[in-house]
Amino acid sequence: MMNDKPASTDTAPVIRIQGLHKAYGSVEVLKGVSMTAPRGHVVSLIGSSGSGKSTLLRCCNLLENSQAGEIAFEGEAVRWKGQGAARVPADRAQVMRFRTNLSMVFQQFNLWSHMTILQNVMEAPVTVLGQDRGQVEARARALLDKVGIGNKADAWPAQLSGGQQQRAAIARALCMQPKALLFDEPTSALDPELQQEVVRVIKDLADEQRTMIIVTHDMRLAADVSDHVVFLHQGLIAEEGPPEQIFGTPQTDRLRQFLSASTH
């Protein structure tokens, strides 16, 4: 368990969410969720399908608009206009700045099929951030080596296994040099053997004290890499705490039932 990290010298957490509400029509998915991701810490979100985990992650990255509550990145709150279902971010430049600092890794990889793996990793830093192509290429190749697929730089996504594609997606996220990484079920589309390839990379990133929020069904991954685990149930945080408590001495019947079902 990795819980011996030094306290951040910067008091503002990378991500702070306060009282977040999100509904799709009459279906309320998040019912007032508050959480923080301190610098250098790994926060895992666990819970049944439909509990609001992925929605919370997408609201973090402003891929979804919440109807109430606050989201702050490094102490700077998202500026909103409108109310309720009409609420949208007020400052497009702020949204772009936040998104470029919060790199998301999706369940289905989302690699561009018409680009090589190297081109996939380089694309956003060059086109979105306007960085020097030569410097980005050097960084991209180093990151592909880091995740164990440096020899696949010139391959097309369709030529890679699912585990290799997901590792390429992680390298692409890292190439943006983000302040935090957001993982949405990074292993659930993979068979068990390929899952372990991706889990090893995520564990290495946790060892580097990168700020991460991980939505996962993999309880072993959550137990191994997390500093803090949040159990969502029907759009609310039913329990949260360090992994030793969540997995070792759960406090609520809901969490005990969920963990029992997850191990069968």
Domain boundaries, the chain: 15-262
According to the model, what pLDDT value does residue 10 have?
57
Are 105 and 53 a contacting pair, CB within 8 Å?
A: no
Please state whether 69 falls in left (phi above 0), alpha (psi between -120 and 50) or beta.
left
Cα separation, 27 vs 101, in Å, equals 30
pLDDT by 10s per residue, the chain, length 264: 344 444 444 578 999 999 999 999 999 999 999 999 999 999 999 999 999 999 999 999 999 999 999 999 999 999 999 999 999 999 999 999 999 999 999 988 889 999 999 999 999 999 999 999 999 999 999 999 999 999 999 999 999 999 999 999 999 999 999 999 999 999 988 898 889 999 999 999 999 999 999 999 999 999 999 999 999 999 999 999 999 999 999 999 999 999 999 875
Are 173 and 104 a contacting pair, CB within 8 Å?
A: yes
Are 52 and 237 a contacting pair, CB within 8 Å?
A: no
User: 104 - beta bridge partners?
Assistant: 182
Run of H or E including 25: none
According to the model, what pLDDT value does residue 264 have?
59
Nearest 10 degrees: Cα torsion 198, 202, 208, 209: 170
Are 192 and 114 a contacting pair, CB within 8 Å?
A: no
**Which CATH code is given to the segment(s) 15-262?**
3.40.50.300
